[in-house]
Amino acid sequence: MSDTRRVRPFVFGLVLATLVVAFVGVQVWRDRVYGEPAPGDSVLYVRSGEALRRLSLSFSPLLADVYWVRAVQYYGGSRLSASTTRRYDLLYPLLDITTSLDPRFNIAYRFGSIFLAENYPGGAGRPDLAIALLEKGFRANPARWQYVQDIGFVYYWWMGDYRHAGEWFTKAADVPGAPWWLRSLAAVTLAQGGDRQSSRRLWQALRETADNDWLRNNANLRLAQLDALDGIDQLTMVVRDFTARSGTIPASWDALVRARLLRGIPLDPTGVPYVLDAGTGEVTVAVESHLNPLPVGSRADRPAR
Amino acid sequence: MVLLAVALSVFRESVRDRVFYNLLLFAVLLVGASVLVGQMTAGQDVKIIKDLGLSATSLFGLFIAVFVGIGLVWKEVERRSVYSLIAKPVRRQELVLGKYLGLALTLLVNVSIMAVVLYLLLAYMHWASPPELRSAWEAPATDPALLKVFLLLYVQLLLVTAIALFFSTFSSPMLAAALTFGFYVIGHFNADLKHFDAVVTSTPLVWLLRALYYLLPNLAPFDITAQVVHGQPVPTGYLLMTIAYAVVYIAFLLSAASYIFARRDLK
């Protein structure tokens, strides 16, 4: 074989590699000069779950998985978005399609209702749609008392409607196989409304019945928020005590430590220091704390009677 | 003996035609997906791997059944090798049946290896998951009930192969492929035909559609993926009835295919 023949594949390979580097380089250059193409808005071309179920032939469970991944990514993308106007308008249609394609997709109902019910901007702020999704789940799976319990929970926590919450807990208790404590939870909800003690019982119940780590962690977070509210009540009393004694609002936690009213800088259940407003004496959790924002505004922030 | 020889030659040809390369794609798809889905699905990775593995088995099997199935008879005629075959003491019916059994063997090996790959991956996911996570699964990762899905999936592929072979005995490969895919799609919409009386008032039309419901292959009952993945029971009686339906339907298709091929003028 001549030298020219031996060299030819090497030269050819080199030319190809150079061309690859060249077209990648031109693309990088163009993106730098004119900016990278903006990602398009999420679009849902087919909104009917029933139509998709039929079109998917025998692949509906797999298509349900695809829509579930889309729903999780859409929720996560919107929630983590830096935009001041987060959008969740496709969340319900995505979850509706997922559960139409696979009516037994348990976690899509339970997670989905949390995503939908959570107050805006952390979630869609649509407890009505969360309830619609859970009702759909219960129609498809009449043995799943958890969905009925979750409806009661949405009424309780996100809507502050304790009468409806109690009614739904009773309905959940009536489902064969439901745990006995649902009936007492219903009674407590109807009698005591949304005080912090009954909120704590509800979240403990949800934690114990969680069939997934994410649900369990969410319940733990809510319980930690209730503990933080307890801590804020105690610290507020200490601040008021100091103000009454000294006639001024403490400028910082150090002032209370020096006055021997506190042993050290008070920390919330996640280990982040509480924040004291030196102007008003108001105590709250820090912005960077995982517990922020606290469920203030609903009656769940009331101490136990 | 003749049947076995023809069947083995079809199987060897499948190996030579690199039909089993799809197994490599299947394995890469599953392993790749298992790495990705864990990050994206909020704890639904085992369910999704099961769905993906079963759907991929069904889809790859469908393509093999259709595209290899339509060529079984056509290739022999096109290459004119059929003349040397029928000159031997091989009846045309034996040729059709042997070809069918050969592809059935190819599909069996294909589906079995896919089942093993899926079980291996699920066993790894079971091993890699902490006990509290496993307790939240609706069905165990290496659920033996998955074998029921593979069984019905395989039987469904046998039925699709019989449809492809039937059409290939009297039509061109393109037309046979289109008709087979058409029957596959209709087979999943079949149940609608039975309930047309809700939208159609004409009694003769309702009866005609109802007749079509019974005559066309009904493939929807072969799909039990959702039940098994969610840990729902599938009665053995249901499996046996569905398999019995397929056996009778395949017998009908193969008889018709053999009859048509036996009378076909190959000059």
pLDDT digits (tens, 9 = 90+) for B41-66: 666 788 888 998 999 999 999 999 99
* Per-residue pLDDT, B6: 83
| Beta-carbon separation of A104 and B37 below 8 A | no
Which of A33-47, A98-112, A115-129, A154-168 shows the lowest per-residue confidence on average (mean pLDDT)? A33-47
- The overall average pLDDT reported for chain B is 86
What's the pLDDT score for residue A97? 94
- Report chain A's mean pLDDT, rounded to a whole number: 84
pLDDT of residue A192: 67
Q: Do A69 and B230 touch (CB under 8 A)?
A: no
Identify which of A208, A123, A108 has the alpha carbon closest to the alpha carbon of residue A157.
A123
Q: A206 in a domain, yes or no?
A: yes
Asked, for residue A62, whether it belongs to a domain, the answer is yes
A57, A58, A213: residue with CB nearest B43: A213
Asked if residue A2 is part of any domain, the answer here is no
Last residue of a domain, one of A190, A219, A248: A219
Instruction: Please say whether the beta carbons of B184 and B160 come within 8 A.
Output: yes
Of A85-89, B7-11, B119-123, minimum mean pLDDT range: A85-89
Residues for chain A: how many in total? 305
Task: Test B225 with A68 for CB contact under 8 angstroms.
Answer: no
What is the domain count for chain A? 2
What pLDDT score was predicted for residue A302? 47
**A249 lies in some domain:** yes
Mean pLDDT of A80-97: 83
- The span from the CA of A185 to the CA of B17, in Å, is 66
Q: What share of chain A in percent tops pLDDT 70?
A: 90
Chain A CA closest to residue B51: A62
Q: What confidence tens digit (pLDDT) does each residue in A195-245 have?
A: 777 778 878 887 887 767 777 887 888 889 889 988 998 999 999 999 988
Provide the pLDDT for residue B204.
86
- A254 and A135 within one domain: no
Q: How many CB pairs under 8 A join A and B?
A: 63
Q: Is the pLDDT of residue A303 over 50?
A: no
What is the rounded CA–CA span in Å between residue B125 and residue A82?
A: 35
Q: Is the per-residue pLDDT at A58 higher than 60?
A: yes
| Least confident among A15-24, A258-267, B5-14, B145-154 | B5-14
Are the Cβ atoms of B44 and A65 closer than 8 angstroms? Answer: yes
pLDDT of residue A149: 92
With residues binned 3-state (H G I as helix, E B as strand, rest as coil), the percentages for chain A, rounded to 5, are 65, 5, 35
Per-residue b or e along B9-39, where b marks 16 or more CB atoms closer than 10 Å to that residue's CB: ebbebbeeeebeebbeebbebbeebbeebbe
- Residues A114, A64, single domain; the answer is yes
Residues A83 and A192 in one domain: yes
* Chain B residue whose CA is closest to A65: B48
- Chain B contact present for A62, CB below 8 A: yes
pLDDT for residue A2? 65
Q: Give percent helix, percent strand, percent coil of chain B, each to the nearest 5.
A: 80, 0, 20
Contacts of A80 in chain B (CB under 8 A): none
Among chain A residues, the shortest Cα distance to B38 is held by: A69
**In this predicted model, which residue has the larger pLDDT, A275 or B133?**
A275
| Residue contact B230–A68, C-beta within 8 A | no
pLDDT beyond 90 at B261: no
pLDDT band at residue A278 using 50, 70 and 90 as cut-offs: confident
On whether any CB of chain B is under 8 Å from the CB of A50, the answer is: no
Q: Residues A18-45: what's their mean pLDDT?
A: 80
Q: Which of A134-138, B121-125, B187-191 has the highest mean pLDDT?
A: A134-138
Residue A215 sits in the same domain as residue A249: no
Rg (CA), chain A: 27
Domain boundary among A191, A219, A247: A219
Contact residues, chain B, for A102 at CB < 8 Å: 226
Residues 98-157 of B with CB under 8 A from A: 132-133, 136, 138
Q: Check if the beta carbon of residue B154 is closer than 8 Å to that of residue B60.
A: no
Among candidates B37, B43, B230 on the partner chain, residue whose Cβ is nearest the Cβ of A212: B43
* B230: nearest CA partner in chain A: A104
Residue A9 resides in a domain: no
Are A156 and A192 part of one and the same domain?
yes
A103 shares its domain with A207: yes
Q: What is the pLDDT of residues B233-251, one digit of tens each?
A: 999 999 999 999 999 999 9
Q: pLDDT band at residue B266, thresholds of 50, 70 and 90?
A: low
What is the share, in percent, of chain A residues with pLDDT greater than 90? Answer: 30
* Same domain for A275 and A162: no
Within 8 A by CB and 6+ apart from B192, the residues are: none
pLDDT digits (tens, 9 = 90+) for B63-113: 999 988 888 877 777 777 767 776 777 788 888 899 999 999 999 999 999
Are residues A96 and A144 located together in one domain of the fold? Answer: yes
Instruction: Indicate if the pLDDT at residue A299 is higher than 70.
Output: no
Query: Last residue of some domain: A219, A247, A272?
Result: A219
Task: Indicate whether A147 belongs to any domain.
Answer: yes
> Measured between CB atoms, does A80 come within 8 Å of chain B?
no
* Dihedral angle sign, alpha carbons of residues A285, A287, A288, A290: positive
Instruction: Specify if A32 maps to a domain.
Output: no
Mean pLDDT of all residues in B124-143: 84
Contact A57 B52 (CB under 8 A): no
With 50 as the cut, is the pLDDT of residue A305 above it? no
**Would residue A183 count as lying in a domain?**
yes
pLDDT at A298: 45
Residues A107 and A127 in one domain: yes
The answer to whether the CB of B188 falls within 8 A of the CB of A58 is: yes
Structure tokens at A257: 């430590």
Does pLDDT of B8 surpass 80? yes
The predicted structure's pLDDT at residue A291:
85
B63 CB near a chain A CB, below 8 Å? no
Q: Does A65 touch chain B (CB under 8 A)?
A: yes
Predicted pLDDT at A44:
75
A92 and A162: one domain?
yes
| pLDDT over 60 (residue A297) | no
Distance from CA of B4 to the nearest CA of A (A): 33
Mean pLDDT is lowest, of A11-20, B115-124, B160-169, B256-265, for: B256-265
For chain A, say whether B244 makes contact (Cβ under 8 Å). no
Domain that holds residue A183: 49-219
Q: Which two tokens stand for residue A42?
A: 């999420």
Same domain, A239 and A211: no
